[in-house]
């Protein structure tokens, strides 16, 4: 029983995203527990940027993250499978053609 009370008091889980330098995307680096968003950002600084790995941090409470279902991957990504003409390598062009 005491464990259940503990579970209830557990600080929520946050997913952490870090921009390693200006001009690059934020990238998921892991997760951590914190009581609120401000604490999550401060903890993320201490846990994930001790060696200047970041210039910007995003945190989002894990429960708000929606994800695709891996068991449906086959049908989910199937539409892209037979459209190789979306890639530039699909086209047969003469070798003497330059800058294209």
Partner 1 sequence: MTVHSFEEHFEQKLDKDIAIEPRDWMPDTYRKTLIRQISQHAHSEIVGMLPEGNWITRAPSLRRKAVLLAKVQDEAGHGLYLYSAAETLGISRDELYDQLHTGKAKYSSIFNYPTLTWADMGAIGWLVDGAAIMNQVPLCRTSYGPYARAMVRVCKEESFHQRQGFEIMLTLSKGTEVQKKMAQDALNRWWWPSIMMFGPPDDNSPNTEMSMRWKIKRFTNDELRQKFIDVTVEQAKILGLTIPDADLKWNEERGHYDYGAINWEEFWNVVKGNGPCNKERLEARKKAWENGAWVRDAANAYAEKRKKRLQQQAA
- Per CB under 8 A, residues contacting partner 1 are 3, 6-7, 9-11, 13, 29-33, 35-36, 39, 46-48, 50-51, 67, 69-71
Give CA–CA dist 13/74, Å, rounded: 30
Give CA–CA dist 20/47, Å, rounded: 14
The smaller minimum CB distance to partner 1, of residues 50 and 92, is found at 50
The smaller minimum CB distance to partner 1, of residues 10 and 82, is found at 10
Give CA–CA dist 7/57, Å, rounded: 27
The smaller minimum CB distance to partner 1, of residues 4 and 92, is found at 4
């Amino acid at each position: 029983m005491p464990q259940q009370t503990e579970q209830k008091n557990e600080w929520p889980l946050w997913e952490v995203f870090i921009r390693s330098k200006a001009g690059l995307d934020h990238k998921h680096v892991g997760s951590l527990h914190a009581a609120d968003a401000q604490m999550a950002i401060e903890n993320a600084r201490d846990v994930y940027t001790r060696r200047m790995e970041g210039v910007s941090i995003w945190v989002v409470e894990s429960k708000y993250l929606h994800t695709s279902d891996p068991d449906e991957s086959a049908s989910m990504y199937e539409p892209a499978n037979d459209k190789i003409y979306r890639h530039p390598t699909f086209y047969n062009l003469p070798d003497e053609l330059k800058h294209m």
